[in-house]
Structures are given as C-alpha cells and as structure tokens.
A and B are shown apart, each in its own frame.
Chain A
Amino acid sequence: MGIAVAIVRMKDLVAVIMLAGIYGLLSASFFVAMDAVDVAFTEASVGAGISSLLMLVAITMTGRSEHPTRHKPVLALVVVVITGALLIYGTLDMPYFGSADAPIHGHVAPRYINDSMQEIGVPNIVTSVLASYRAFDTFGEVVVIFTAGIGVLTLLSVVRLPEDVTKSYSLNDSMYEQQLILRIVTKMLIPFILLFALYVQFHGEYGPGGGFQAGVIFAAAIILYAMVFGLRTSRRVINQPFIQLAAAMGVLFYGSIGLVSLLNGGNFLDYSVLNADPIAGQHLGILLIELGVGCTVASVMLIIFFNFAGRREVQQNRRDKETK
C-alpha cells in the first residue's frame, strides 16, 4: 500500500519502476500467504520480472522524469474514492476468507479436489483445472497474449534500417565495452536461467509452474542477453520473422491439439481421446498445450522487447544525424 502511494507520488521514473517491481514481489509473497502458489509464481515472474524489464526499455525512449502536471485531477480522485468505498461497503457481507462453508468451497471446487486425480491424474490441481477442465480459457489467454504481441508489432514495427546506419550503433554500446564483470556473470547465468525455464515448463504437472511462467523466464534470459551484449548480436540469434512465426505456431499448436481431439471423436480440447488410455491422453494433452503456451508467451515477450528497443535505435540514429 505504501509502495503504491510512493509510485504515484514519485517523479523519477526509474525509481517508480523499481518500486513497481518490489510491489510485484510483495504481492507475490501475499499470494503465497494465501496458499495460491501458482498465482504467486506468475506474479513474481510477470509482475516483478518481465514487466519491469519492458518498462525500463520503454523509458530509455521517453526520458527519465515525469513532466510536472498542472491540472489537479480532483474529480477523478473523488470518483475513485467513492467507487472504492462503495466496493468495501458492498462486500461487507461477503463470506469470510477461508471459511469452510463459503459457496466457492461447496459447489464446483470439491470435484476438482476429489476427482481430478482419477480423471486427469495430475498431482497439481491448479494445472488440471487450467489445462484441462478450463482449457479453453487458457487457450483464450494465449490468444490474448498473441493479440497483444501483434498489436505492438503493428504500432511500433520499424521500417528496416539501411545496413550502414545500423552498423555503428546498437543498444548499450558503452556497456558492451566497459562492463566486463557484468558480461561474464551474465554469460554464466543465462544457461541456468534457460534450464530453469525448461524445468518450470515441464514440471507444471507436479509443482507450481507451466507454460506461462516458463515462457516469461525464457524470454527474460534472452532479453538479458540482448541488454548486455547489444541488440545486433542478439538479432543474429533470433530474428524478427522467426519469433513472429514462433508466436503464431504456439497458438496454432494449441488449437490443433483441440482439432485433433475433435477429429478423434471427442469434443474440442478433450484430451482423453488422444490416447487409448484416457489418463495418458490427458497427460499428453496437457504437456503439449503447455508447450504451445510457452512458445507463444516467450516469443510475444521478445516481440515486444525487440520492437521497443529497435524503436530506440532509430531514435538514436536520428538524433546522431541531426548533431552531425
């Protein structure tokens, strides 16, 4: 709460981003305290991890401090306070947190808890709800992320630069030459981050984790590389058309699992028909769709990063030309 107020009051945007990261981490621990480990994991990797990274890239373009605003948005504050007060007043008679007879524990949830082991055979109930009972929602989420990536691509995609211009400058050139320690530590860390991402990806059935978190961690590793070693070097490894293709393939892969189950005589996304043994079919289905999720999430994060950073490169070049 204190941090949220500080974020609003602060004028230095770098500090704001750092605080936002801490805010994400704190909410993650809050979720852990509420026994929602999977949510906490997502919050830690998305809220505290990749979103701060992306915002940092964004402010390298816009400048570091906020313009002082003249108008005082009093009306907005009043509306927000009233809405908040009504919300608190309106929910006073809500069932207490953790009370056993609350409706959420009595209706749908018992089947998830009692029967998911027989029906799906995956120890992590969260995964079986996300990836099988409500798999279509997860598919929707993946498409949301894909849409976001395409949106960024449409609005920010830069016209390709002539070769001679790109040759001389790349993001963080100075860092590339000077920060020796940073470079070595990064080199050592990246394989482990990638490995951890893969672990999270495939361990989702047994512990907290899955495609979303894995995709974000995977992307974070590559972004870290790009930030330290320069955009140009990293473009040699991963180029634009390739990640766009990967983003599309992730969605298509997820969808085609659904279509395969449709062709095998089940309903859309019914994994039980993927294999003679329904439980094995469920396992296979969950594993495959998580792969699709991870693929799309990682590539969309990279699309967003590379487009923001590429935009900055263009800006820098333009500025240099003007000074010449």
Chain B
Amino acid sequence: MLAHLPILQVIVPLLAAPLCLILRRSSLVWLFSLIISGIAFLISISLLQQIMASGTIVYELGGWDAPWGIEYRIDKLNAFVLLIISAVSTVVLLAAQTSIEKELPKDKHTLFYVLYLLSLSGMLGIVSSGDVFNVFVFLEISSLSAYALIALGEDRRALWASFQYLIMGTIGATFILIGIGLMYQMTGTLNLDDLSRRLPEVAHTRTVFSAFAFVIVGICLKLALFPLHLWLPNAYAYAPSIVTAFLAATATKVAIYLLIRFTFSVFGLSFSFTTLPLQILFMVLGLLGIFVASTAAIYQKNVKHLFAYSSIAQIGYMIVGFSTSTVTGLTATLLHVFNHALMKSALFLALGAVMYRIGSVQLSQFQGLGRQMPFTMAAIVIGGLSLIGVPLTVGFVSKWYLLMALVENGWWLVAVLILLSSLLTIIYVWRIFEVAYFKPPLLETEGIKEAPISFLIPIWILVMANIYFGIDTRLSVQVAQAASQSLFGVAP
C-alpha cells in the first residue's frame, strides 16, 4: 500500500466528496470530512519522510509509462506544499461545523463539505501531478469549487466577488491552457519531466516564448500578483470565514508552486531568467505589490479586507525572494509559503471566531474585544506580530532568509525597502491592537463572551505552530532548503 500513497493522497478526498452527498447528515459529514482530511495529512507526512530519505517518487497512473500515460512525480518541493495544504485543511476543518452553523443555511451544509473536499483534492492534484494537462484539469476542479464556496458568503456582495473571481480565474486558466497547447505543439509531449528535456531544443522559437508568456501570465492571475490582484480582496472578505481561512492559506500557495515548477523545472533556469528580464520584472512587481497593498491595508475598515490586502503584500515578499533566483532566495520564498500559511490561517480563523460572536468584522466593532475575547484577540496579536516579522515568530525566519538572499545578491536597496515595508505592516496591525485593547466596549457588544472551544483549539494549534516554527526552524528550513537546492540541481 505504501507504493500507492501518491495517488491515495489525491484520490481519498476526491472520492470522499461524492460520498458526502450520500451521507447527507450535516454533523456526520463534518466528522467524515475531518477524518478524510486527517488521513490526507498523515499521507503527506509519510510521503515527505519517504522523499527526504530516498528521493523522488514516481507513480504511473493506469500502469502506462511516462510520456504516454500520466505520471505523478513527487519530489521535495511537491511534498512540502502537499504537507502545507493538507495540514491547514485539517486544522481549519476542526472549526468548520461551529462556524458554518452560524453562517450558512442548514440545507447547504452538506454541499459545503462536498465543495470543500473537492477544492482540497483539486489543489492536492495540481501539486502531485507530473503532467501539464492533468495539472490544468485539477486546476479547474479546485477553481470551480472555490468560486462556489466564495459565493456561499452571507453578504450578497459575495456573489459579485465570486463572479469577478470567476472571470479573472477563467481568463487565467485559459491563458495557461493556450500555453500548454503551444508547448505541446512544439514538443509533442505533456509530461513535465519530458517537457524539460525537449524544450531546450526548441527554446529559440517564438512559439515557445509565447507559450512561456501565456503560462506565466495565467499563473500570475491565479497568484494575485500585483497588478493582477483586483479579484482577491473582495473574494476573501465576503466568503464564509472558514473558506477564507482555507483559501487564503492554500490557494495562492498552489499558484506559487506552479510558478516555481514552470520557471525552474519545465522551462529551466537559463531560459526563464537569462533570456528574459524576468528577474527585474518580478522584483519590481513584488515590491510594488508590497507597498501598494500594505498602504491599502492601512485604510481598510473591514478587518477581513485588511488582512486580504496584507495577503497580497505577503505574496509580494514571496515574489521578491523568487526573483533573486538564488538558492537562498528560493528557500526564503518556500519558507514564506509555509509561514504565511500558518499566519493567515490563524488570523482568518480568529476573525471567524469574532464573526461567530459579533456577526461582523468591521474594525469599529472590535472595540474592547481585548477584554471580552482575550484568547481570540491574543491569537490575532501573535499572528500580527508574526506578519510584522518579530523575532521568535515564523515571520521573522522568512524575512531573515529573504534579507540574506538580497544581501547575497548585493541588492542593498531592495533589502532596505523590505525593511521599510515592515513599518507599514506595523501600522495596520497596530490599528487593530489599538481598537481592541484601548477602547471601551461598545454598548451593543456588551456581554460578548469568549469564542467556543471548538474555535479556540484550532486557532491556538496554529498560533503555537507560529511560535514553534519561529524558534525551532529545523524542519521548515531543512525541507525548504533541500527543495530549493534540488530545483537548482536539476535545472540545466
């Protein structure tokens, strides 16, 4: 059975989704989804262990060998991202039942879990697959279910947000598909590994350039890279709390994974970074993203909006790390993928708890919550400190590596700008502290109690992880480093 783990990773949640539809009873379905997600988490741990010990795992679907059939090819990078996705999904699901009971009508609970599992398995499928067309198919599964999940939000504006996301996401997916078609046209293969060997022969043709451009632009749309980020704030703000916590921590990470996979493994380092001015382009866009989104975050009145803009800024940090195209830079990006998933899932889950008690996440409603919901607000404080990058939190670790990478490249100016941008983070995080701790409670929120235990457990698991991985960096740094080294090792 151990040999089949790569496929089980994807197929277990995928087949569980229709089973949910048969189970029907809401609490039963929740328990079932939680168990399934837990199994996926265990599988990803075991996969990571296997890969760290013995290297890349290849699994041939249908028993057909690679360029003819579809293969799953899981190396350190995939295993790392798989672990992040399944871990976050499991922890977030712990709080799901409490939250959606409040936010969704009763007859939609089962469908919610069906979509959640589909979205989860779609993302796992994208990351495991070693075949471009298969990646596209699973991209469709995960995006379609994400659109529907976002549209479930209570606020009627959720529908419009989801529609915007649908349009942008579909354009992105179409661009990726055109790129895949052109690549197939030039090489006759859809297998990622095979592509990486056959593309250099035709690298000088304009068709390959167009393919590259289309794939990258398509991925950047999914990634919400500045200036293609416009769909993200509303989608995150109006979706149900659980959905925001799950998608904010995973969806953009999958896009980052795709970006790294295509530029480093498929097209190869020399093509991606020397023939095109990608380094400068991504560096500038990343920096612009950090500054514009952080500044926008300062002016938000809705805390979910605030953290959504902060997500765009954090994506900027990942892209800056990526643009250095060095081992350290890529390590910083991967670390930040991991760390940001921890921070944002904790923060958005805590906002879910606030939503559960107060029914709104407007900043003005946060008055006095520091005393009324001490554990929830403490979680937001620690998450916020982590966003700023205070030592002993995970945010510090990834910023540290990012600065090292920038200094290594001699990009002093960029390093200074990154440090300055932390000031902006301090401002928007401070605004929440100030309202929550230094203002008296509002009349209408008087008598609000601490969030239920089913919220506090997952929130504090994530917060503890934020601190633990900020102190004991062995696991995350080791894996991220090994993954980025192997990417530079295989790249020609």
Contact = CB atoms under 8 A, between A and B. Distances in A.
Q: Determine which residue in B21, B111, B134 has the highest number of CB atoms from chain A within 10 A of its CB, and name it.
A: B21
B125 A140 contact: yes
What band does the interface of chain A fall in when counting residues whose beta carbon is under 8 Å from B?
A: 35 or more
Contact of B141 (A103, A134, A143, A159): A143
Contacts of B145: 147, 150-151
What band does the interface of chain B fall in when counting residues whose beta carbon is under 8 Å from A?
A: 35 or more
Nearest to A267: B63
B137 A147 contact: no
A270 B207 contact: no
B144 A147 contact: yes
Contact of B61 (A89, A150, A251, A268): A268
A137 B134 contact: yes
B272 to A, nearest CB: 17
Interface string B93-118: 00000000000000110011011001
A144 B186 CA distance: 28
B21 A267 contact: no
Contacts of A269: 61-62
Interface string A229-247: 0000000000000001101
A271 to B, nearest CB: 7
Nearest to B162: A155
Interface stretch (A39-47, A106-114, A178-186): A106-114
A151 B115 contact: yes
Contacts, number: 173
A252 B19 contact: yes
Interface stretch (B47-55, B177-185, B355-363, B401-409): B177-185
A157 B107 contact: yes
Contact of A140 (B69, B134, B184, B213): B134
Contacts of B205: 93
Nearest to B191: A108
Given A87-B210, A134-B70, A150-B115, A245 B22 contact: yes
A147 B4 contact: no
Interface stretch (B147-155, B306-314, B385-393, B432-440): B147-155
B141 A136 contact: no
B188 A270 contact: no
Interface of A: 86-87, 89-95, 102-109, 111-112, 132-137, 140-141, 143-144, 146-148, 150-151, 153-155, 157, 159, 244-245, 247-249, 251-252, 255-256, 258-259, 262, 266-272
Given A91-B207, A95-B186, A268-B7, 16 more contacts: A86-B210, A94-B186, A103-B187, A104-B185, A108-B68, A134-B133, A135-B61, A136-B134, A146-B118, A147-B145, A147-B148, A150-B114, A245-B22, A248-B18, A251-B18, A252-B18
